[in-house]
Amino acid sequence: MKVSIVAAIAKNGIIGIDNRLPWHLPEDLAFFKQTTLGCPVLMGRKTYESINRPLPGRLNVVLTSNTDWQPAPAKDGTPRNVIAYPTPLPSGSTTQIATATNLPNALQWLARFEQIFLIGGSNLYQQALEQNLVDELVLTEIHQNFDGDASFPQWDRERFTEVDRITNPATSERTWAFDFVKYAQVNTGL
Stated pTM of the model: 0.95
Full pLDDT tens readout for the chain, 190 residues? 999 999 999 999 999 999 999 999 999 999 999 999 999 999 999 999 999 999 999 999 999 999 999 999 999 999 999 999 999 998 777 889 999 999 999 999 999 999 999 999 999 999 999 999 999 999 999 999 999 999 999 999 999 999 999 999 999 999 999 999 999 999 755 4
Helix (H) or strand (E) holding 30: helix 26-36
Domain 7-185 sits in which CATH superfamily?
A: Dihydrofolate Reductase, subunit A (3.40.430.10)
- Please spell the DSSP secondary structure of 38-60, one letter per residue: TS-EEEEHHHHHHHTSPPTTSEE
- Under 8 Å CB-to-CB from 137, ≥6 apart: which residues? 4, 5, 7, 155, 160, 181, 182, 183
pLDDT at 91: 77
Give the separation between CA 131 and CA 108, rounded to whole angstroms: 14
pLDDT at 187: 79
**CB-based contact 70:40 (threshold 8 Å):** no
